[in-house]
């Protein structure tokens, strides 16, 4: 069936295969991002923040960069599964030339770590660090013209990722913004609901379950206290993120604790889903790895005099992560939990039914046209390998149709449904987009434009104007022949994102007008094509819904019954709440 695995698992498997196959190809002809070597601290970048002095360096783009600045204390020991504690005073001048250690996670091909094998546990609990990128023209403590601040929240299913993956220097320099990239607790350290831990709370916030969300809130408070030192405007902060990062943006929009800490929000391929405390703990539902099950497998004889919460905090990271091991080398667990502390106890999506119930700032939300191709490329019912190396579709038309329907589900749930829900609740300051770029390169039998298209995550290099994201596959996807058209699209997207951050409206001189979402209008973002293919940046009006998708799938004459039901069952395997699609399309 299509889309039959959890996204986090599929994501990892796809990237393994892409990298294993792409890396053997001759790459001399490919586009390659310049790499800055011998990074040296620049005295001109010394800045004073609340906890001391920091020193950074100058990037190739000219932007100033500061890495691994602590915004919170270590989360190890007694601080584990508690709200983040304040960062300690710096010991001397902080060296901002080196990346921070990642928060504990399982190494994946998507999040490349030098000399670390896939499936290895890496990271440190002392990971609440952030990176800052500022244009060379930024003036510290500039009261007259402080710059807009954009806070990037990385993706990775809330179980992996780091700030190191994303180079914000070009975006900061070109668009004259301050860019902050944040690390936060992941996996079981970031999302864990347990009554025994709540009983051991030293602070009301310690009773949360979304500790990763509390980290992001702490980072936003740090921005309020410190960003002026880098030339930023604490009263003009935009949060933006992709995939799980977009999901976290939604969570911050819903969090009473984040009120007034940001002023715009951008959701890139995000989600509005959540789980109840009862589901997260395994008292109801059938969630994988509920916390009660994990606690039962961990404690036993390790309890210290019956102090189970203390015992949990004393367990090694290795033992904690092994409790989640399912043999695939990846993690699957409940995240974004309705804990009543960071977010309300009601479903996350329902919070947006009234503008009075969430942080109603201007919102941009969008998806990529071919989101699901990143996952289905590894489905051997849809693809095969020629000569054991090159991915091709078994049935070209069905491969595209499977992606079209499943990717539409993502759009409906991340764009149309929430935008319409907010409009009905009195909030209409929402802008929608769809990213359509599918000009990826090919080599011999593998055509990435076909097999990946505008897949999940493909828009990130365009926002940052930095084409390094998919590992070895980057050099195939982003070939030299597409550089000019990519640059034009990237500059347009950077301008839209930055103008939205500047004044809450994604506009720009020489760019097509982008009005707020109303009855289905969204901006298509694509390269200009030849006369045979539609392309460029233009407004489209086409409201979508689950009812419309179901009817289209039921009546689609391009599909036979087996294919139709394969798609329907795949959607339900991904999102069991949509089980009515099975019956409505005539499948049983």
For 326-340, the pLDDT digits (tens) are 655 678 999 999 999
For residues 462 and 433, what is the distance between their CA atoms, to the nearest angstrom? 14
- Looking at the chain, how many residues does it have? 588
CB-count burial class (<10 Å; 0-12, 13-18, 19+) for 385: middle
Using pLDDT thresholds of 50, 70 and 90, give the confidence band for residue 131. very high
Sign of CA dihedral 323, 329, 334, 335: positive
Mean pLDDT for the stretch of residues 31-45: 84
> Across-strand partners of 57?
65
For residue 210, which phi and psi values (nearest 5 degrees)?
-100, 80
The beta strand positions in 139-252, using DSSP E, are 147-153, 178-182, 232-242
Does residue 522 sit in helix, strand or coil? strand
Residue 174 pLDDT class (50, 70, 90 cuts): very high
CA-CA distance, 68 to 119, in Å (whole number)?
25
pLDDT at 6 over 60: no
Express each pLDDT in 204-238 by its tens digit.
Answer: 999 999 999 999 999 999 999 999 999 999 999 99
Phi, psi at residue 394, to the nearest 5°?
Answer: -65, -40
Q: What is the pTM of this model?
A: 0.94
pLDDT of residue 534: 66
Q: Which residue has the higher pLDDT, 352 or 510?
A: 352
Q: Given this model, what pLDDT does residue 32 score?
A: 61
> Per residue in 395-454, pLDDT tens?
889 999 999 999 999 999 999 999 999 999 999 999 999 999 999 987 766 788 888 999
Do residues 132 and 69 touch, judged by C-beta distance below 8 A? yes
Angle, alpha carbons 25-27-31 (nearest 5°) = 140
pLDDT digits (tens, 9 = 90+) for 532-563: 566 799 999 989 999 999 999 999 999 999 99
Q: Coil, helix or strand for 496?
A: helix
Q: Provide the CB-side half-sphere exposure for 238 (13 A, CA).
A: 27
* pLDDT the model gives residue 303: 59
User: For the chain, what is the largest distance between any 2 Cα atoms, rounded to a whole number of angstroms?
Assistant: 75
Q: Return d(Cα 104, Cα 161) in angstroms, integer.
A: 10
pLDDT value at residue 164: 94
Q: Is the pLDDT of residue 111 over 90?
A: no
Confidence of residue 20 (pLDDT cuts 50, 70, 90): very low
Q: CA 167 to CA 161: how far, in whole Å?
A: 14
Helical H segments across 301-445, by residue range: 308-314, 317-322, 373-376, 396-411, 417-424
Strands (E), 259-401: 264-268, 275-276, 337-338, 363-368, 383-386, 390-393
pLDDT for 328 equals 59
For residues 574 and 3, which has the higher predicted lDDT (pLDDT)?
574
Q: Is the pLDDT of residue 59 over 90?
A: yes
Grade residue 305 by pLDDT with cuts at 50, 70 and 90.
low
pLDDT grade for 23, boundaries at 50, 70 and 90: very low
Tokens, residue 411? 């759009």
- Vertex 446 angle, CA 444 and 448, to 5°: 130
Q: What is the mean pLDDT of residues 457-486?
A: 91
Give the helix ranges, DSSP H, for 469-535.
474-477, 483-503
| H or E stretch covering 222 | helix 211-226
pLDDT band at 29 (very low <50, low <70, confident <90, very high): very low
């Amino acid at each position: 069936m299509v889309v039959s695995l959890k996204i986090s698992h599929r994501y990892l498997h796809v990237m393994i295969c892409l990298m294993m196959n792409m890396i053997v190809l001759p790459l001399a002809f490919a586009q390659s991002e310049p790499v800055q070597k011998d990074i040296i601290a620049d005295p001109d970048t010394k800045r004073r923040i609340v906890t001391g002095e920091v020193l950074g360096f100058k990037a190739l783009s000219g932007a100033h960069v500061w890495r691994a600045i602590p915004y919170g204390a270590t989360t190890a020991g007694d601080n584990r599964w508690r709200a983040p504690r304040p960062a300690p005073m710096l010991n001397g001048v902080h060296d901002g030339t080196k990346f921070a250690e990642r928060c504990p996670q399982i190494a994946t091909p998507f999040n490349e770590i030098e000399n670390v094998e896939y499936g290895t546990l890496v990271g440190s609990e002392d990971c609440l660090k952030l990176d800052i990128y500022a244009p060379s023209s930024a003036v510290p403590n500039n009261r007259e013209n402080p710059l807009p601040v954009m806070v990037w929240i990385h993706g990775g299913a809330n179980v992996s990722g780091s700030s190191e993956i994303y180079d914000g220097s070009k975006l900061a320099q070109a668009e004259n913004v301050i860019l902050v990239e944040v690390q936060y607790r992941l996996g079981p350290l970031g999302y864990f609901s347990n009554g025994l831990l709540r009983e051991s709370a030293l602070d009301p916030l310690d009773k949360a379950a979304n500790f990763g969300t509390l980290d992001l809130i702490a980072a936003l408070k740090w921005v309020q206290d410190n960003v002026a030192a880098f030339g930023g405007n604490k009263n003009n902060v935009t949060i933006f993120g992709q995939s799980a990062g977009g999901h976290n943006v939604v969570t911050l929009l819903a969090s009473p604790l984040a009120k007034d800490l940001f002023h715009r929000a951008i959701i890139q391929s995000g989600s509005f889903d959540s789980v109840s405390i009862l589901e997260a703990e395994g008292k109801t539902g059938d969630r994988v790895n509920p916390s009660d099950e994990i606690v039962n497998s961990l404690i036993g004889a390790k309890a210290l005099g019956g102090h189970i919460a203390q015992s949990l905090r004393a367990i090694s990271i290795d033992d904690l992560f092994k409790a989640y091991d399912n043999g695939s080398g990846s993690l699957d667990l409940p995240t974004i939990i309705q804990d009543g502390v960071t977010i309300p106890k009601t479903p996350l999506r329902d919070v947006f039914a009234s503008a009075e119930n969430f942080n109603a700032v201007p919102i941009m939300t969008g998806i990529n046209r071919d989101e699901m191709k990143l996952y289905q490329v590894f489905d051997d019912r849809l693809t095969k390998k020629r000569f054991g190396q090159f991915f091709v579709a078994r049935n070209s038309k069905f491969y595209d149709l499977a992606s079209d329907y499943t990717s539409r589900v993502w759009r409906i749930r991340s764009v149309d449904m929430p935008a319409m829900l907010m409009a009905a609740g009195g909030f209409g300051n929402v802008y929608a987009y769809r990213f359509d770029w599918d000009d990826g390169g090919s080599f011999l039998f593998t055509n990435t434009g076909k097999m990946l298209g505008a897949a999940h995550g493909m828009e990130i290099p365009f926002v940052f104007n930095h084409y390094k994201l998919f590992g070895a596959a980057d050099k195939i996807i982003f070939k030299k022949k597409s550089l000019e058209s990519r640059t034009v699209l990237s500059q347009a997207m950077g301008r839209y994102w930055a103008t939205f951050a500047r004044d809450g409206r994604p506009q720009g001189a020489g760019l097509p007008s982008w009005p707020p979402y109303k009855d289905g209008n969204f901006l298509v973002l694509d390269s200009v094509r030849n006369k045979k293919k539609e392309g460029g940046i233009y407004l489209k009006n086409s409201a979508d819904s689950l009812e419309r998708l179901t009817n289209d799938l039921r009546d689609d004459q391009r599909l036979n019954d087996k294919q139709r039901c394969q798609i329907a069952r795949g959607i339900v395997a991904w999102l069991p709440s949509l089980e009515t699609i099975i019956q409505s399309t005539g499948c049983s």
